[in-house]
Amino acid sequence: MDKNIIGLIGLGYVGLPLSIAFSKKYKTFGFDINVKRVEELNKGIDTTDEAMLSELKNQINNNLVLTSDSKKLSDCNIYIITVPTPITQFKTPDLSYLISASKTVGSILKKEDVVIYESTVYPGCTEEECVPLLEKYSGLKYNNDFYCGYSPERINPGDKINILTKIKKVTSGSTPAVAEKVDKLYASIIEAGTHKASSIKVAEASKAIENAQRDLNISFVNELALIFDRIGIDTNEVIEAAATKWNFLKFKPGLVGGHCISVDPYYLAHKAQSLGYYPEVILSGRRVNDNMGIFVANKSIKLMNKKGIQVRGAKALLLGITFKENCPDIRNSKVPDIYNELKSFGMQVDVYDPYASSYDVEKEFGIKMISKTNHYDLIILAVAHKEFMELDFNDGLKRDKESVIYDLKSVLDINQVDARL
């Protein structure tokens, strides 16, 4: 057993898989302030569906301690912080979780300890915002008494193929020696290998642009969808034709939510604006993607009007509310935008999702999900859960043959739907 003792702060989509992986090599303590979450995990229950339960139970019985008591982390010499970094209602970075975690670690930090951040941030955040807190609450001096590293998380929720150990890891450290130590630490669990960045800022920036690039690619095809809707041609048919050229990037239009793609560009933009530069391209992409839910709702109303369906009082069904298919993650889902817009037209709107937690959906969005569907004037396939691929829309879902079906994911037979995004 290696002398490293790992303390993981945050046991969500990122922290839990990391805790399990590290505990196969090192004594590992996983900490979360959510007492209920810790209790469930210790019973082998994972509501994120990210962990293999057999592995979780096995490691808890061996080398993994899960706790909500920060004092139990005091013997650790490597701390890894994996807390959420969302945005505020004003689209600015919300560092409250990161600040709280830094204070917690700072209060138990010892000489020679290393603190590694995985949470997505803007370039410079670790050393400008977190390090001063570590110094203040520990009484120690950065790069003399303790050290830092940054290794951006690359977890893809719901993906059972590209799991933690199969994704190459970017690493960095506050000194060359610490950078090497951090790199070797991750190399011991990541089968895909590591990439040692030249500095913490470079590693921070690499994560921000990964998701900003994807956001912009999707915003481009979303804007094409808006244009082609006005022209009256199918966006997916255009993309299929264009994709016959070898260098065409085949992105598809859709709602952009989740913990990274819809958030990280704002972190990068925040840093740019603080330095006096207004990022036109990044923010224009965000504006397009943020408004797609409104477009979908208004397009649905037009489709209903075209078929002579009375909008006010009509019944609509939204199939799916998670931000992506086949996983329970609802973070920053844009489906509620469609829900709220349809409600504003006086429609009765039901939401059905076999993966999402009814409790979490009501708490986060104020939406009460249904457990049994009815008959509807409008059906919107918002998320491509595998269960939805087997639905017979004509038997039990459509109120009558004039009911509108809008396929946002382009996964249904084109002859079965009235429109695709």
Asked if the domains at 5-200 and 291-420 fall in one CATH topology, the answer is yes
Active site residue 260: yes
What is the DSSP secondary-structure string of 133-150?
HHHHHH---BTTTBEEEE
Interval 70-124: pLDDT, tens: 999 999 999 999 999 999 999 999 999 999 999 999 999 999 999 999 999 999 9
pLDDT at 2: 55
Inter-axis angle of helices 35-42 and 53-60, nearest 10: 90
Distance CA 164, CA 147 (A): 25
Region of poorest pLDDT, from 32-36, 50-54, 66-70, 190-194: 50-54
Interval 348-360: pLDDT, tens: 999 999 999 999 9
Interval 270-312: pLDDT, tens: 999 999 999 999 999 999 999 999 999 999 999 999 999 999 9
pLDDT > 50? residue 1: no
Report, at the CATH architecture level, how domain 5-200 is classified: 3-Layer(aba) Sandwich (3.40)
Interval 304-351: pLDDT, tens: 999 999 999 999 999 999 999 999 999 999 999 999 999 999 999 999
Alpha helices in 126-199 (DSSP H): 131-138, 176-187
- What is the pairing mode between strands 147-150 and 27-31? unpaired
pLDDT > 60? residue 57: yes
CA dihedral (368, 373, 379, 385) positive or negative: positive
The mean of the pLDDT values for the chain is 94
CA dihedral (93, 103, 127, 274) positive or negative: positive
- Residue 152 tokens read as 């951006």
Q: Domain spans of the chain?
A: 5-200, 291-420
**C-alpha distance across the termini of the chain, in Å:** 53
- Residue 337 tokens read as 């935008």
Interval 120-138: pLDDT, tens: 999 999 999 999 999 999 9
Burial readout 130-168 (b: 16 or more C-beta within 10 A, e: otherwise): bbebbbebbebebeebbbbbbbbbbbbbbeeeebbeebe
Catalytic member of 76, 125, 260, 327: 260
CATH topology of domain 291-420: Rossmann fold (3.40.50)
Asked if 35 contacts 19 with a C-beta cutoff of 8 angstroms, the reply is no
**Given phi > 0 = left and psi -120 to 50 = alpha, else beta, which region is 419?**
beta
Long-range contacts of 383-386 (CB under 8 A, 24+ apart): 383/319, 383/320, 383/321, 383/322, 383/324, 383/325, 383/335, 383/353, 383/409, 384/320, 384/325, 384/409, 384/411, 385/319, 385/320, 385/322, 385/325, 385/326, 385/353, 385/354, 385/355, 386/325, 386/326
Residue type, 242: A
198, HSE (Cβ side, Cα atoms, 13 Å) = 1
Q: Which helix (H) or strand (E) holds 276?
A: none
**How far lies 158's CA from each of 48, 51, 163, 175, 385, in Å?**
9, 10, 9, 35, 11
Distance CA 341, CA 131 (A): 43
Interval 248-273: pLDDT, tens: 999 999 999 988 888 999 999 999 99
Interval 374-389: pLDDT, tens: 899 999 999 999 999 8
pLDDT category at 51 given cuts 50, 70, 90 is confident
Which residue from 148, 36, 34 is spatially nearest to 102, judged by alpha carbons? 148
